Amino acid sequence: MLDKIDKKNEQLYSENERLKRENEILERDKEAALSRLSKIAGEKLSKGNPSITDLGDPNRPTKLGERWSSLYTDEWTDAFEEISAKCKTNKTVVPEKILLKIVDWCYTTCRKLSQNQAKRIEQLLRDVALQLNLQDESKNDINQNIHVKCNMTVSEVNDSMNEFIDTFRSQRQNNERLMETAVKKCVDDYLKSNKEATENEIIFVKKCSELCWCICIADPPMVIEYKHFERYKIDSTKFNKYNRSGITVEFVVWPALLLYENGPVLAKGTVQTNNSGTFEISQSVSESENYKLREMWTCCETNINILGSLPTRNSSIQYERFSDFTGLGIPGKIFRNKIAETYGESVKYFRDMSIIDAISEEKSKTIPFDNVDNVQMNCNSVDIMTDARHACRKNSFNSDITALGQITHKVLSYQHVIKRHERCSQKHELFGTKKLYEDLESKTVRCHSHDRNSSISSFIEKNKPNVIDCLDTWHAGKEENNVEDDIILQESDDSENEESDYDI
């Protein structure tokens, strides 16, 4: 009986051990499967997505950005000192431009090498993919009867190639020997055309070629920007200033590194700037994204030419600030005159239509007064408030006088007064106000608010008896406070006099 029990226990023990071994095997297979699944998911997530990178990759974008900045601060500086010393006698040579040409040459050479290599290898991989499906066929037969004998569509051929191409790109990014070959070719080609190159210049070419190769073979390829920035407004998101202040780019010193074309900036470049007041329209402004800004800028340009060359100093400053803020630039007079000829009539038309619409809206929203005998004045009228903007505080050479609707605050009329119209600058506002009334003659003015200008009050009293003369909100409040202060002072004086009489 005991023997049977022992034998049964041994069988159960053996079965238990076997199940344990199988369980361990299954656990290892499970971990391996999860690992492969995680790897595949990671590859799919990071494939073609430069925002997600392998932190263990020494050539990941952030590291390349750091190396690009380091190349400028270290090797570029050493090469700059040697080239400056070598070209010391020649004042027309700019060492920064020479070094930028070296960067341009390295980048262009590496990009061509990378693109040509990728095209050749992808063609070879296409042949490999076809050979795997037609092992007994010759290359000529494959080319002639690819779809018949292979029974493969173009998409199937491309799918079969994807694994090969992905492997090729991955191997190329981490292949030190391939990078050394590319760098050696760049350095040798450079020395053939620049036999007098200095030691630090050669080191700079080598380091620059290494980085340019890594930039060009990235997936997607990274981009450096350095062309077509001269005479444009500096883009502070991409470039730092070199050794001079200003807003206009004179020339590029060091390119900016981007994650991909039109992508985020990994490392800022450097540009030499100057204080030139005129620069071209910035290419960094997208026409589709800033269409409205461009139209506003064009209309602003046209209005300036319609009214004359920058009517007032204030409008000139505001125009320059607007152009600077939007990054659209300030073009020359020839371009502005051309714009005025092209868009002038259209701008005038829309300006007049805008004023007509503003007057109609103001009339529709004006509430009639009670106990007013003049029905025409009460029902078909507008309330306006006017003010003047002078070019300078004293002896202004021109002024802008504007009438706004009391309710809508939209422009109902506008007058530009210059010295030719009125020699005395103190009378510009009165002259402009008279012109406003001529412009609004058919649109009856009921109330006229202004900034307590005595000449305007006198003009309204003598020439516009039906118009109610008012003060604007700020001056009316100020006037009311002054009256209250006068009353309080008067009461205080009366109280003091009464106390004085009582004491006597």
- Between the ranges 53-62, 264-273, 344-353, 390-399, where is the mean pLDDT highest? 264-273
Bigger pLDDT: 297 vs 266: 266
Instruction: Kindly state whether residues 133 and 217 are assigned to the same domain.
Output: yes
**Backbone phi and psi for residue 225, each to the nearest 5 degrees, phi listed first:** -115, 125
Residue after which a domain boundary falls, among 333, 360, 387: 360
pLDDT band at 206; cut points 50, 70, 90:
very high
Percent of the chain, pLDDT > 70?
A: 65
Instruction: Kindly state whether residues 370 and 431 are assigned to the same domain.
Output: yes
| Phi-psi sector, 159: left (phi>0), alpha (psi -120 to 50), beta | alpha
Instruction: Kindly state whether residues 400 and 310 are assigned to the same domain.
Output: no
Is pLDDT of 309 > 70?
A: no
- The helix or strand, by DSSP H or E, that contains position 400, with its residue range, turns out to be strand 398-405
Bigger pLDDT: 490 vs 397: 397
Task: Look at residue 475 in the predicted model and tell me its pLDDT.
Answer: 57
- Between the ranges 30-44, 46-60, 270-284, 396-410, where is the mean pLDDT highest? 396-410
Identify whether 395 is part of a domain: yes
Identify whether 322 is part of a domain: yes
- The helix or strand, by DSSP H or E, that contains position 204, with its residue range, turns out to be helix 199-216
pLDDT tens digits, one per residue of 350-381:
888 888 888 888 888 888 776 555 555 556 78
Identify whether 504 is part of a domain: no
Task: Look at residue 233 in the predicted model and tell me its pLDDT.
Answer: 86
Is pLDDT of 503 > 70?
A: no
Single pTM value for the model: 0.46
Task: Look at residue 168 in the predicted model and tell me its pLDDT.
Answer: 67
Instruction: Kindly state whether residues 75 and 186 are assigned to the same domain.
Output: yes
Is pLDDT of 289 > 80?
A: no
> How confident is the model over 320-335, as a mean pLDDT?
64
pLDDT band at 324; cut points 50, 70, 90:
low
Bigger pLDDT: 386 vs 471: 386
CA distance 439 to 458: 20
Q: How many domains does the chain have?
A: 3
Identify whether 110 is part of a domain: yes
Instruction: Kindly state whether residues 114 and 160 are assigned to the same domain.
Output: yes
CA distance 356 to 193: 70
Q: What is the mean pLDDT of the chain?
A: 76
Task: Look at residue 368 in the predicted model and tell me its pLDDT.
Answer: 78
Identify whether 3 is part of a domain: no
CA distance 216 to 110: 7
pLDDT band at 331; cut points 50, 70, 90:
low
Place of tokens 């296409």: 126
Task: Look at residue 53 in the predicted model and tell me its pLDDT.
Answer: 55
Task: Look at residue 159 in the predicted model and tell me its pLDDT.
Answer: 61
Task: Look at residue 496 in the predicted model and tell me its pLDDT.
Answer: 52
Instruction: Kindly state whether residues 347 and 384 are assigned to the same domain.
Output: no
Is pLDDT of 154 > 60?
A: no
Task: Look at residue 287 in the predicted model and tell me its pLDDT.
Answer: 42
Task: Look at residue 76 in the predicted model and tell me its pLDDT.
Answer: 92
- Which residues of 189-277 form beta strands (DSSP E)? 223-225, 239-241, 248-254, 256-258, 265-267, 269-274
Identify whether 238 is part of a domain: no
Whether 224 contacts 111, CB under 8 Å = no
- Which residues of 406-440 form beta strands (DSSP E)? 411-418
pLDDT band at 290; cut points 50, 70, 90:
very low
Peptide bond preceding 220: is omega within 30 degrees of 0, i.e. cis? yes
Bigger pLDDT: 340 vs 360: 360
Bigger pLDDT: 22 vs 503: 22
pLDDT band at 92; cut points 50, 70, 90:
confident
Instruction: Kindly state whether residues 102 and 144 are assigned to the same domain.
Output: yes
CA 419 from centroid of its chain's CA atoms: 41
Instruction: Kindly state whether residues 332 and 395 are assigned to the same domain.
Output: no
Instruction: Look at 91-105, 166-180, 181-195, 393-407 and tell me which has the smallest mean pLDDT.
Output: 166-180
Instruction: Kindly state whether residues 211 and 337 are assigned to the same domain.
Output: no
Instruction: Kindly state whether residues 91 and 167 are assigned to the same domain.
Output: yes
pLDDT tens digits, one per residue of 406-450:
889 999 988 889 888 888 888 899 999 999 888 887 667 888 998
Instruction: Kindly state whether residues 66 and 105 are assigned to the same domain.
Output: yes
Determine the structural domain holding residue 388 and report its residue range: 366-480
CA distance 156 to 292: 47
Instruction: Kindly state whether residues 324 and 402 are assigned to the same domain.
Output: no
Residue after which a domain boundary falls, among 311, 341, 360: 360
Identify whether 375 is part of a domain: yes
Bigger pLDDT: 407 vs 58: 407
Bigger pLDDT: 197 vs 143: 197
Q: Which residues pair with 417 in a beta bridge?
A: 399
CATH number reported for the structural domain that contains residue 386 in this entry: 3.30.420
Please give the DSSP secondary-structure letter assigned to residue 469: E
Instruction: Look at 188-202, 237-251, 304-318, 353-367 and tell me which has the smallest mean pLDDT.
Output: 304-318
| DSSP annotation string for 61-113 | HHHHHHHHHHHHHTHHHHHHHHHHHHTSS-TT--HHHHHHHHHHHHHHHHHHH
> How confident is the model over 196-222, as a mean pLDDT?
89
CA distance 323 to 327: 6
Residue after which a domain boundary falls, among 221, 245, 273: 221
Identify whether 343 is part of a domain: yes
> How confident is the model over 197-225, as a mean pLDDT?
89
